Amino acid sequence: MLAIRRRRELSNPLVFFVIVVSLFPLGVSPDQDLLSKMAPGVIWVTALLATLMSMDAMFRSDYDDGSLEQLLLLPGPKILLIGAKITAHWLSIGLPLVILAPLMSLLLYFPTHAIGSLVITLLISTPILSLLGSVGVALTLSLRSGGILSSLLILPFYIPVLIFSTMAINASANSLPVSGYYALLGAFLIVSALLIPFAVVAALKVSYN
């Protein structure tokens, strides 16, 4: 509901994603073979940056108005609260990116038989981006330039997700087995979902100390 009320914050990363992918054929080359080979990297890097743009909004408004501190003081497990915040972020940013990606891939002449792999990797990996990003945001909430610092903290942890996702898409485009890549990304998602909420709770407590 908060994301819907702040439609500008919700739409900016998505508009960024659409504009950057749309400009690539104009700025690089209209050659279909070249764009087809570059499509997985272009789409994934742009989706990663769009997610990174939106991370600071996950806890910022709640921190500024004091509601986050009040929520952390409530009795009961804080993991459910953190899980709900991360899930809301993914639903407002990650899921729309998953929906937009197949449409944008057609602009880059991406093989239609590999679009399913593109969607699957995004479905598995965009929640990982939200989970990893939440730790950096929680650690830098109390800093004035927290958005820039959190991006620098988060970005190195995004690299493995980017590498395995693009490798899976390229393998699918070349009709090679991709189940191993899906398994690695799925394991990464499960481990992240089980451990990161605890790290976020600890990081938020550090930000208030």
pLDDT in tens, 129-165: 999 988 888 888 777 665 677 778 888 889 999 999 9
Domain boundaries, the chain: 2-208
Per the CB < 8 A criterion, the answer to whether 50 and 89 are in contact is no
pTM for the complete prediction? 0.87
Cα–Cα distance, 168 to 148 (Å, whole number):
30
* 103 token code pair: 């449409």
Give the mean pLDDT of 38-45: 89
The residue whose two tokens read 């743009």 is 53
- Taking alpha carbons only, the member of 174, 164, 140, 142 closest to residue 154 is 140
Distances in whole angstroms, Cα of residue 41 to Cα of each of 37, 119, 138, 184? 8, 14, 29, 19
Distances in whole angstroms, Cα of residue 138 to Cα of each of 81, 112, 183? 13, 39, 29
- The pLDDT of residue 175: 85
Give the mean pLDDT of 104-126: 90
Residue type, 62: D
pLDDT in tens, 69-106: 777 777 777 888 888 889 988 998 899 999 999 998 88
In b/e form, how buried is each residue of 8-33, taking b as 16+ CB within 10 angstroms? ebbebbbeebbebbeebbeeeeeeee
Q: Could you write out the DSSP letters of every residue in 172-198?
A: HHTT---HHHHHHHHHHHHHHHHHHHH
- The pLDDT of residue 131: 92
Residue 130's H or E segment, with its range, is helix 115-139
Count CB-CB contacts under 10 A for residue 111: 16
Per the CB < 8 A criterion, the answer to whether 54 and 9 are in contact is yes
Average pLDDT of the chain is 85
pLDDT in tens, 168-199: 998 888 888 899 999 999 999 999 999 998 98
Residue 101's H or E segment, with its range, is helix 95-107
Instruction: Categorize the per-residue pLDDT at 204 as very low, low, confident or very high, splitting at 50, 70 and 90.
Output: confident
pLDDT in tens, 6-18: 766 677 888 999 9
Instruction: Categorize the per-residue pLDDT at 127 as very low, low, confident or very high, splitting at 50, 70 and 90.
Output: very high
The percentage of residues in the chain with a pLDDT greater than 90, rounded to a whole number, is 29
Give the mean pLDDT of 96-125: 90
